[in-house]
């Protein structure tokens, strides 16, 4: 059995306790590797190492252009190893190789983009209102940044955090999900190969409630960038509060995907499928509430069911598989329990509705693509995040009702709108309470465009130029240009 130790200060380390935990392949249901189960002691070692690399040695001596060059170099290495890294991801999270390889080929762009930004972090000279002083700002790194990630897109989510963090001059500890730790441990080798000094990028593995919590609480961690569930985000935010750490949270969603009767319905059907069955519905931005205008409701559902029925399930390593397994056994149980919840609430099953027992699904944790109609937005199935291939179809009358239902959830991560009316597209984009609104498309993200949630979907944003500021702190410098010091008893 392959063993994956942690990577701290440029060295491979077993957990201080000597303990390991199993990682499983969601397609076979079998354990394929052991990962070091870090605890409090390992958290201390990792943070001390990252802090040391931040304050001494080669990293703080590099100028910003040199930091940028290192980031671009690691981008090149990731591009070279994209397929191999994607295979680690699939073995751990069961997502499709077609999707993960695409993600891995795209990830280098974050390192090129933020590598380019590294030497464009400029302070300002303030035309200060007081005579005899010169005032300017410096934007300085924070120190040790902790990147905690979910299991659905481990390296992409880690990259959203570590590329800007490193460009800004911080050092980083990645704490991957316990279900998908191996890809980060392969990935980190590329940072060493690119020439990042030891301790600048570290990977600490183990359980959220053990090493995760200890890392968040460590006084030398200055920022926690978290992607995960709402419950996890609340815990992390609470644990970070006494230490006055900066926190960014990318959490869950219950996003509305809204189809008007003037939409291109062929595209809207594909958009509905992209919203909920791509990635087996295990995306924070899943369009899990499909709002369909009443005038086209029945014909749209019929077309959607016919199309969704054709989805090919099976081995995620096959390039033509379209729906893979659910990533973890607890998640598999959770998805099935929500199917029961929907049934008990009176929603009508239009497709699927249980575990997939097709021969091509083997022993994996597969759930049939499931569609419920007749869903009322007050039902639990419309309000709570399932994180699986379960769609709730909710009818609406007009624009006003679509906006009301669309916004009537605790979350606000994303929304989709399908219409050919430009006017309506702009009205909807303005009125929907979501960090991302897609019109006539779905599930598009880029390193260039801010991503994050309204309401309970999180705090802060990732991606885009402005985000680098989240990894910096601003210092205001005042230089007296007069020879004499004025009245010391008055504020200057
Ligand atoms: P969790 O909240 O369970 O876990 C996320 C990460 O936090 C894991 O690494 C976990 O470790 C760690 N963690 C858990 N508890 C603590 C703690 N007390 N202190 C420190 N770390 C902790 O989320 P999931 O992994 O189940 O991911 C699914 C969720 O992620 C969904 O809600 C989804 O919507 C959301 N998500 C949000 C995205 C966004 O960008 N908005 C993108 C992708 C997913 P461990 O695994 O060991 O428990």
Does any ligand 1 atom lie closer than 6 A to the CB of residue 330? no
Q: Kindly state the percentage of the chain with pLDDT values over 70.
A: 100
pLDDT tens readout for residues 256-284: 999 999 999 999 999 999 999 999 999 99
Judge whether 489 lies within some domain: no
Does any ligand 1 atom lie closer than 6 A to the CB of residue 225? no
Check if 14 is active-site: no
pLDDT above 90: residue 485:
no
- As a whole number of angstroms, the distance between CA 460 and CA 13 comes to 33
pLDDT above 90: residue 362:
no
- Please state, rounded to an integer, the average pLDDT across all residues of the chain: 97
pLDDT at 492: 84
| CATH number of the domain to which 309 belongs | 3.40.309.10
pLDDT tens readout for residues 62-76: 999 999 999 999 999
Cα 305 to ligand 1 centroid, rounded to whole Å? 31
Which residue is catalytic, options 178, 284, 361, 385? Answer: 284
- Based on the fold, state whether residues 145 and 264 are members of the same structural domain: no
pLDDT above 90: residue 7:
yes
Strand boundaries in 275-413, DSSP class E: 289-293, 348-351, 370-373, 390-396, 411-412
Phi then psi dihedrals of residue 367, to 5 deg: -120, 135
pLDDT tens readout for residues 40-51: 999 999 999 999
Judge whether 177 lies within some domain: yes
Cα 265 to ligand 1 centroid, rounded to whole Å? 35
Judge whether 491 lies within some domain: no
- Based on the fold, state whether residues 11 and 125 are members of the same structural domain: yes
- Based on the fold, state whether residues 418 and 471 are members of the same structural domain: no
pLDDT tens readout for residues 170-189: 999 999 999 999 999 999 99
pLDDT at 144: 99
- Based on the fold, state whether residues 281 and 211 are members of the same structural domain: no
Closest ligand 1 atom to 176 CA: 9
What is the full DSSP assignment across 209-247?
IIIIHHHHH-TTEEEEEEES-HHHHHHHHHHHGGGT-EE
pLDDT at 330: 93
Strand boundaries in 365-408, DSSP class E: 370-373, 390-396
Average pLDDT over residues 17-35: 96
Closest ligand 1 atom to 215 CA: 20
Residue of minimum CA distance from atom 25 in ligand 1: 150
- Based on the fold, state whether residues 217 and 268 are members of the same structural domain: no
- Based on the fold, state whether residues 292 and 183 are members of the same structural domain: no
| Count of domains forming the chain | 2
pLDDT above 90: residue 61:
yes
Judge whether 448 lies within some domain: no
Half-sphere exposure at residue 482, Cβ-oriented, CA atoms within 13 angstroms: 9
The three-point CA angle 274-280-281 to 5° equals: 65
- Based on the fold, state whether residues 164 and 290 are members of the same structural domain: no
Does any ligand 1 atom lie closer than 6 A to the CB of residue 148? yes
Judge whether 482 lies within some domain: no
Q: Which residue's entry shows tokens 């890392």?
A: 215
pLDDT above 90: residue 149:
yes
Q: Are 33 and 1 in contact (CB under 8 A)?
A: yes
Closest ligand 1 atom to 232 CA: 2
Residue of minimum CA distance from atom 35 in ligand 1: 228
Judge whether 446 lies within some domain: no
Average pLDDT over residues 352-364: 93
pLDDT above 90: residue 126:
yes
- Based on the fold, state whether residues 399 and 468 are members of the same structural domain: no
Pocket test for ligand 1, best of 228, 234, 447 (most atoms within 8 A of CB): 228
Q: Considering the entire predicted model, what is its pTM? A: 0.97
Cα 239 to ligand 1 centroid, rounded to whole Å? 15
Judge whether 451 lies within some domain: no
Complete edge-to-edge strand list for the sheet that includes strand 2-4: 2-4, 30-36, 20-25
- Based on the fold, state whether residues 82 and 191 are members of the same structural domain: yes
- Based on the fold, state whether residues 210 and 271 are members of the same structural domain: no
Strand boundaries in 338-428, DSSP class E: 348-351, 370-373, 390-396, 411-412, 414-418
pLDDT tens readout for residues 409-436: 999 999 999 999 999 999 999 999 999 9
Domain range for 423: 256-439
Q: Kindly state the percentage of the chain with pLDDT values over 90.
A: 97
pLDDT at 295: 98
Check if 284 is active-site: yes
- As a whole number of angstroms, the distance between CA 124 and CA 121 comes to 10
Cα 131 to ligand 1 centroid, rounded to whole Å? 52
pLDDT above 90: residue 39:
yes
Strand boundaries in 388-467, DSSP class E: 390-396, 411-412, 414-418, 436-439, 454-455, 458-459
Q: Which residue's entry shows tokens 């497709």?
A: 351
Band (pLDDT 50/70/90 cuts) for residue 214 is very high
Beta-carbon neighbour count of residue 84 at 10 Å?
12
pLDDT tens readout for residues 86-102: 999 999 999 999 999 99
Band (pLDDT 50/70/90 cuts) for residue 16 is very high
Which residue is catalytic, options 250, 368, 385, 462? Answer: 250
Beta-carbon neighbour count of residue 61 at 10 Å?
9
Average pLDDT over residues 379-383: 98
Half-sphere exposure at residue 196, Cβ-oriented, CA atoms within 13 angstroms: 34
Judge whether 486 lies within some domain: no
pLDDT at 486: 83
- Based on the fold, state whether residues 328 and 416 are members of the same structural domain: yes
| CATH number of the domain to which 466 belongs | 3.40.605.10
- Based on the fold, state whether residues 150 and 299 are members of the same structural domain: no
Does any ligand 1 atom lie closer than 6 A to the CB of residue 284? yes
């Amino acid at each position: 059995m392959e063993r994956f130790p942690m990577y701290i200060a440029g060295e491979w380390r077993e957990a201080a306790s000597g303990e390991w935990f199993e990682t499983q392949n969601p397609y076979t249901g079998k354990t394929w590797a052991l990962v070091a189960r870090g605890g409090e002691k390992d958290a201390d070692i990792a943070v001390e190492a990252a802090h040391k690399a931040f304050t001494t040695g080669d990293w703080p001596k590099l100028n910003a252009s040199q930091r940028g060059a290192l980031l671009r170099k690691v981008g090149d290495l990731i591009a070279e190893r994209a397929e191999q890294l994607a295979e680690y991801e699939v073995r751990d999270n069961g997502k499709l190789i077609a999707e993960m390889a695409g993600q891995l080929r795209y990830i280098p762009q974050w390192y090129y983009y933020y590598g380019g930004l590294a030497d464009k972090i400029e302070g300002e000279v303030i035309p200060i209102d007081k005579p005899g002083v010169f005032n300017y700002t410096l934007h300085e790194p924070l120190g040790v940044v902790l990147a905690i990630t979910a299991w659905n897109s481990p390296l992409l989510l880690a990259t959203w955090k570590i590329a800007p963090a490193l460009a800004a001059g911080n050092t980083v500890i990645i704490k991957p999900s316990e279900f998908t730790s191996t890809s980060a441990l392969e990935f980190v080798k590329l940072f060493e190969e690119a020439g990042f000094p030891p301790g600048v990028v570290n990977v600490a593995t183990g359980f959220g409630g053990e090493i995760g919590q200890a890392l968040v609480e460590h006084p030398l961690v200055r920022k926690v960038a978290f992607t995960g569930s709402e419950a996890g985000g609340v815990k992390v935010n609470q644990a970070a509060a006494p230490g006055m750490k900066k926190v960014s949270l990318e959490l869950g969603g219950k996003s509305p995907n809204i189809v008007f009767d003037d939409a291109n319905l062929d595209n809207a059907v594909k958009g509905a499928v992209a919203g909920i069955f791509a990635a087996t519905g295990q995306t924070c931005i899943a369009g899990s509430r499909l709002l369909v205008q009443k005038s086209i409701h029945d014909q749209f559902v019929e077309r959607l069911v016919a199309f969704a029925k054709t989805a090919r399930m099976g081995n995620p390593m096959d390039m033509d598989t379209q729906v893979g397994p659910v990533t973890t056994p607890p998640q598999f149980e959770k998805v099935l329990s929500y199917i029961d919840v929907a049934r008990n609430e009176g929603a009508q099953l239009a497709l699927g509705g249980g575990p997939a027992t097709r021969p091509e699904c083997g022993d994996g944790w597969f759930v049939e693509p499931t569609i419920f109609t007749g869903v009322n937005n007050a039902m639990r199935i419309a309000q709570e995040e399932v994180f699986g291939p379960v769609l709730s179809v909710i009818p609406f009358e007009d624009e006003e009702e679509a906006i009301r239902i669309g916004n009537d959830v605790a979350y606000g991560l994303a929304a989709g709108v399908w219409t050919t009316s430009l006017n309506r597209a702009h009205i909807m984009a303005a009125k929907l309470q979501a960090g991302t609104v897609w019109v006539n498309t779905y599930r598009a993200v880029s390193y260039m465009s801010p991503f994050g949630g309204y309401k309970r979907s999180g705090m802060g944003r990732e991606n885009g130029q402005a985000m680098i500021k989240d990894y910096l702190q601003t210092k205001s410098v005042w230089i007296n240009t007069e020879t004499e010091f004025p009245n010391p008893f008055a504020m200057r």
